[in-house]
Amino acid sequence: MKAYFSCVFVLLLLSCNSKEKVEKKVVITDGTKTYDVYQASEMSTLMKGMYAYNMQLKTDIEAGNEVSDEFPEEFLRIHSAQLSETKLRNETFQHFSGKFIDAQREVFIDSSLLSVKDRYNNSINMCLSCHKTECTGPIPKIQKLLIK
């Protein structure tokens, strides 16, 4: 029972708000049993990918490894990926997605003005700026990406 509760807690922390839990469920029936499977939106899958990519980037920067000079073009899907039904691609979203892409591109362009660490942290702060207005749930998780 204890394990069950902690799982539910983790799920709620990661999604934007608890309402989302109900909206994208797929019911799978194998004849004897019915399973409710949570289906992630395209945007949510992209976000998880961006999270994993930036976690790797953080590890590389902290280790002093050379960072690739190729911006991951898949990130541009932030402009088109389908969102969960409760989320809207409104003006705020468009504004922050543009700012985020600009900041993330900077990480891969060697600039003498700012260190790679500063450029990286700037891009993570743009993840956070959008999340503060659009989707507050994952903020504690995203903050772990910042390099101290």
Among 57, 58, 93, 120, binds ligand HEC (CB under 6 A): 93
- Taking the alpha carbons at both ends of the chain, their separation in whole angstroms is 37
What residue type is assigned to position 59 of the chain?
T
Interface mask (CB under 6 A) for ligand HEC, residues 110-129, using x and -?
----------------xx--
Q: Write the CA distances from 113 to 106, 116, 121, integer angstroms.
A: 11, 10, 14
Among 58, 100, 107, 119, binds ligand HEC (CB under 6 A): 100
Contact criterion met (CB below 8 Å) for 20 and 136: no
Binding mask 9-48 for ligand HEC (x = CB under 6 A): -----xxx-----------------------xx-xx--xx
- Percent helix, strand, coil in the chain, to 5, is 60, 5, 35
Site residues, ligand HEC (CB under 6 A): 14-16, 40-41, 43-44, 47-48, 50-51, 54, 83-84, 87, 93, 96-97, 100, 126-127, 130-131, 134-135, 138, 141-142, 145
